Amino acid sequence: TRLFETDGARNPVDLLKRVYGYSAFRGQQQAVVEHVVAGGDAVVLFPTGAGKSLCFQIPALCRRGVGIVVSPLIALMRDQVQALNGLGIRAAALNSSLTRDEAIAVRRALGSGGLDLLYVTPERAVTPSFAEMVADIDIALFAIDEAHCVSQWGHDFRPEYRGLDCLSSHFPGVPRIALTATADPHTREDIVERLALNGARVFTSSFDRPNIAYEIVERDQPRQQLLRFLSRFKDASGIVYCLSRAKVEDTAEWLNAQGIRALPYHAGMDRALRDAHQDAFLKEENLCLVATVAFGMGIDKPDVRYVAHLDLPGSVEAYYQETGRAGRDGLPSEVWMAYGMADVIQRRRMIDEGGSPEEVKRIERAKLNALLAICETAGCRRQAILAHFGEAHPGRCGHCDTCLKPVETWDGTEAAIKALAAVYRTGERFGAGHVVDVLIGTVNEKTERFGHVDMPVFGAGKDLPARTWQSVFRQLLALGLISVDHAAFGALKLEPEARAVFRRERQLFFRKDRPTGKAPRGQKSS
Ligand code: ADP
Ligand code: ZN
């Protein structure tokens, strides 16, 4: 029998207390729940750990019929179903890992109204056979979890998600709720557009994780630097991310030799061993998990005290997700990254030599640059990260390295004005590479073809090297004074905030360039 059926009417607060044992909703959970219970569509953009699951689980329990949850990973489904069953909720998953008999049992339960929640993969949700299977049963709602997977802007694009726009036409009147912890404006627009959620109410909450302290250091002796970072933690567990499987193995082995209990985790490992390492990480108090990004999605370990990156992540979204696995319990946690010019060169090469079509490569380059802007900011890192997600923060958080130890800067106000003027005069139609060419007065096919060689801004920035201008643009981007128009192939645009700089009402200080020699290749983005 069902825990929550004892007193008839299903009220969200009552379910929260009786089924989940929580005393109150957090943040906007209740607003989302009420909106969806009433039949509205919703887009929920809450950071990791905010409690998105309840936003669809409780409405599914309140409404008539079964809630269908689209989820990208079978492992993730399994964990959620297990947890729900533990609470007395009738949940099941339908996916390729089931035996024939198991699948039949799930179908039977579904047909007889014996399920509250059914988890399916996106590819299954859009098949005609699925539509047929649920044709005669009541559907409480569709929840589209990890909705950023629909966007190429997200860090985890899955083409199967693109088919989910058909749910609104196949199942009119069934509320849909899309959820993600990735909420940069491009991904957000993509979710609304690609999932046909134009009429949905959008719920956002702050992406600030005040208990996380951010630090990004210039890499010089990475292993020693890592060891120094790890020595701050006693009897604490954390994650060290590396780009390659080989580096995961090597780093774990080396840490063990240094007396730090470390286990490797990557997709190339034997499944059983990988699961064993994951379980050890979830259970033990003092374990360093060295992993590729294959590790982490759906992991709910509240007391991860640190996350270290030995390589640059692929994007700000990925960095935010990966660092966001620290401190879900709200206690102070530290995240640390060692970053070097080699990363930039390697990442650029991965993009350039990757198999993506050119327009996707442009997106990848723009994403990399946005992350570099955060690495290079002279201002508060938290402020820069949040600005990326369209969220204003006053800065000086006091819990990031740049706040704690201000970096050397130069007054870049005049340079910024020139840079912004060059963007404006060339019509906000060009990427940083071309605008830098205009500033330093490069005569080439493009500057000639567009008549830029005859403009007053042409060569106005001759006094500074191209590399400095690139860094100026990256920092302007980090400050939110310009944005990259991804629809227009990475063209730079002025943001309204740039006006105060033009009027000399706002002074700008830029992080001093690192010594030359190991500088990245000049980049061309348009
Ligand atoms: P998200 O999917 O947003 O990352 P989860 O739904 O996994 O977050 O929730 C994170 C944690 O917070 C879970 O352990 C969950 O049980 C807990 N939680 C969610 N809502 C509440 C609440 N209202 N009160 C207390 N704990 C909650
Ligand atoms: Zn700060």
26-39 pLDDT tens trace: 989 999 999 999 99
Q: Quote the pLDDT of residue 50.
A: 84
Q: Quote the pLDDT of residue 487.
A: 66
Number of the ligand 1 atom closest to the C-alpha atom of 300: 7
Chain segment 233-278, per-residue pLDDT in tens: 989 999 999 999 999 999 999 999 999 999 999 999 999 999 999 9
Q: Separation of 462 CA from ligand 1 center, angstroms?
A: 54
- Angle, helices 316-323 vs 381-388, to 10°: value is 120
Q: What Rg do the C-alpha atoms of the chain give, in angstroms?
A: 25
Chain segment 467-524, per-residue pLDDT in tens: 889 888 877 876 778 877 766 777 889 989 899 999 999 999 888 755 433 333 333 3
pLDDT reading at 395 higher than 50: yes
Give me the mean pLDDT over the 398-423 stretch.
94
By C-alpha distance, which of 171, 216, 451 is closest to 310? 216
Q: Separation of 53 CA from ligand 1 center, angstroms?
A: 7
Chain segment 286-307, per-residue pLDDT in tens: 999 999 988 877 677 889 999 9
Distance (Å) of CA 321 to CA 13, 59, 441, 478: 30, 26, 40, 19
HSE-up of residue 65 (Cα within 13 Å, Cβ side): 16
Which ligand gives the minimal distance to the CA of 51? 1
Mutation to probe ligand 1, out of 13, 28, 54, 322 (largest number of atoms < 8 A from CB): 54
359-373, 407-421, 430-444, 472-486: lowest mean pLDDT where?
Answer: 472-486
Q: List the structure tokens of 450.
A: 């567009």
For ligand 1, atom 16, which residue shows the shortest CA distance? 51
Which ligand gives the minimal distance to the CA of 25? 1
Cβ(22) – ligand 1 distance below 6 Å: yes
- Rounded Cα gap, residues 177 and 33, in angstroms: 10
Q: Separation of 47 CA from ligand 1 center, angstroms?
A: 11
For ligand 1, atom 13, which residue shows the shortest CA distance? 51
For ligand 1, atom 21, which residue shows the shortest CA distance? 51
Number of the ligand 1 atom closest to the C-alpha atom of 48: 4
Q: List the structure tokens of 69.
A: 């949850």
Cβ(17) – ligand 1 distance below 6 Å: no
Q: Quote the pLDDT of residue 323.
A: 95
Q: Quote the pLDDT of residue 432.
A: 87
Which ligand gives the minimal distance to the CA of 406? 2
- Rounded Cα gap, residues 428 and 425, in angstroms: 7
By C-alpha distance, which of 369, 370, 343, 365 is closest to 518? 343
- Rounded Cα gap, residues 460 and 439, in angstroms: 5
Cβ(44) – ligand 1 distance below 6 Å: no
Q: Separation of 26 CA from ligand 1 center, angstroms?
A: 9
Please state the ipTM of this predicted complex. 0.97
Q: Quote the pLDDT of residue 520.
A: 38
3-state secondary structure of 458: coil
Which ligand gives the minimal distance to the CA of 382? 2
For the chain, the first-to-last Cα distance in angstroms comes to 62
Which ligand gives the minimal distance to the CA of 50? 1
Q: Separation of 52 CA from ligand 1 center, angstroms?
A: 7
Q: Quote the pLDDT of residue 154.
A: 65
Which ligand gives the minimal distance to the CA of 404? 2
**Ramachandran region of residue 475, left (φ > 0), alpha (ψ -120 to 50) or beta?**
alpha
For ligand 1, atom 20, which residue shows the shortest CA distance? 51
Number of the ligand 1 atom closest to the C-alpha atom of 52: 3
Q: Separation of 395 CA from ligand 2 center, angstroms?
A: 6
Band (1; pLDDT cuts 50, 70, 90): very low
Distance (Å) of CA 57 to CA 117, 276, 294: 8, 29, 26
Q: Separation of 22 CA from ligand 1 center, angstroms?
A: 10
Chain segment 131-183, per-residue pLDDT in tens: 999 989 999 999 999 999 999 876 678 899 999 998 988 899 999 999 998 77
Give me the mean pLDDT over the 448-471 stretch.
93
Q: Separation of 357 CA from ligand 1 center, angstroms?
A: 39
Q: Separation of 286 CA from ligand 2 center, angstroms?
A: 28
Cβ(49) – ligand 1 distance below 6 Å: yes
Cβ(300) – ligand 1 distance below 6 Å: yes
Cβ(51) – ligand 1 distance below 6 Å: yes
Q: Name every residue whose Cβ is closer than 8 Å to that of residue 328 and which is 6 or more positions away in sequence.
A: 48, 49, 300, 301, 302, 303, 304
Distance (Å) of CA 514 to CA 215, 407, 468, 482, 511: 17, 11, 10, 23, 9
Mutation to probe ligand 1, out of 30, 48, 53 (largest number of atoms < 8 A from CB): 53
Residue of higher predicted confidence among 2 and 516:
2
For ligand 1, atom 15, which residue shows the shortest CA distance? 51
Top mean pLDDT of 4-8, 48-52, 253-257 is at 253-257
Chain segment 308-364, per-residue pLDDT in tens: 999 999 889 889 989 999 998 889 999 999 987 677 777 877 888 888 888 888 888
Average pLDDT, the chain: 89
**Ramachandran region of residue 216, left (φ > 0), alpha (ψ -120 to 50) or beta?**
beta
* DSSP assignment string, 302-318: TTEEEEEESS--SSHHH
Q: List the structure tokens of 429.
A: 């139609």
pLDDT reading at 111 higher than 60: yes
Q: Separation of 54 CA from ligand 1 center, angstroms?
A: 7
Cβ(424) – ligand 1 distance below 6 Å: no
Distance (Å) of CA 75 to CA 79, 119, 319: 6, 11, 22
3-state secondary structure of 207: coil
pLDDT reading at 202 higher than 80: yes
Cβ(56) – ligand 1 distance below 6 Å: no
Give me the mean pLDDT over the 30-49 stretch.
94
Quote the pTM value.
Answer: 0.68
